Amino acid sequence: MIRTVILGVIFFCSSFITQAQPGFESMGYDDRPSYPLRAFLNKFSVNVSSGYGRTFYRHTLTNNNYVRTADGSFIYPNGEQGTSPAYSNWFNRAVPTALTLPSNPDSLTLVTSDSSAINMRGGGYNIPINLSIYYNLFRVRIGGGISADFHTVNPPQPEDFRSFFSEPASFRTTQIRYYGLLGYSVYEYYDYALGVDVRAGMIRMGSGFDRGQTETSPFFNVGVTLEKVFSEYFRVYLRPSYEFKNYNLLLPEGPTTAIDHRNSSVFLTLGVSINYPDLPRSPIKADKTQMKHYVTDPKTGEKREVRGQPFWRKQDPKIGELYPELTKNKRKRQAKRQQFFKKKKK
């Protein structure tokens, strides 16, 4: 009797399992992606951005004096009476110069570092154009990118420095960055998202800096992304960030062999992020279905899954999401209703 009951239960369960699978397949439920290559490419996000940045140049002179004359700005070692070795352009392209200080004090402006270090300050502005690609692993983002930074530089001078002579001329350079990227989507709320990411890599200072004298360190850029999500495939984001970096400028001769320059930056960029659609657009031009669905291709007769919306609109929107004007009207009506009840209570 017991054996008969056990065999009956096993038979019942096996028949239920075998009958359930064809039933789900016939209804169109299939966990396999319709387009495997599209599904793989959909995991990658391509990002293009541009904006504005400021760079803050800082370095300290401890063994050198700073002098400005009608011929330009120079540094020369402590203890020397204005003779060689002196340098012009020690900021981006050091040039040894035979310097003799004028005997007339009114013909120069001098800052010495005998008693304390000379803090040098400069700046510049940046117009970056950035391209990055990252892979979406749940909320984690892993990738890399490249950027071209059109940079205008104002060479440093001592703090609170005043002189009758002209300041060093500004110059332009195009800096190139190569970096890896690691990010995380921290918070998502309706059509908005908040993320953080870190970018680390190397930078080429450009033609404005002597390549043989310049040694750059890796840079680290920490930023926050504020995203407006238009669809599964299209987002617009604002990214404020801060970048840590520095470089050494090697001096050809003299007691000081190199000067360490800090050139940290802040950026504010606006960009777009696009994912390759995992489904093609419906081949039927009159198809305006506002969700992913199955159609029969009029050319091949093949039944396949497609999307009915362009990539910048939600593919499976909720009721009212495609009509923001209706939402605004609804809010106005609610506000008027609240005002009405407040007056009625009074």
Task: Please report which confidence band the pLDDT of residue 330 belongs to, taking 50, 70 and 90 as the band edges.
Answer: low
Residue-level pLDDT at 271: 96
Alpha-carbon gap, residue 113 to 241, rounded angstroms:
35
Residue-level pLDDT at 73: 87
% residues pLDDT > 90 (the chain): 40
Tally of CA atoms within 13 A in the half-sphere of 308 that contains its CB: 12
Query: Which segments of the chain are extended strands (E)?
Result: 44-61, 64-69, 72-77, 86-88, 95-97, 108-111, 118-137, 140-158, 171-189, 192-204, 214-216, 219-229, 234-244, 246-250, 258-275, 293-296, 303-306
Mean pLDDT over 235-250 rounds to: 95
| pLDDT tens for each residue of 177-211 | 999 999 999 998 888 999 999 999 999 999 999 99
Residue-level pLDDT at 345: 64
The residue among 200, 193, 266 whose CA lies nearest residue 225 is 193
Alpha-carbon gap, residue 164 to 162, rounded angstroms:
7
| pLDDT tens for each residue of 44-66 | 999 999 999 999 999 998 888 88
Fold of 44-57+124-275: Porin (2.40.160)
Residue-level pLDDT at 200: 96
**Domain boundaries defined on the chain:** 44-57+124-275
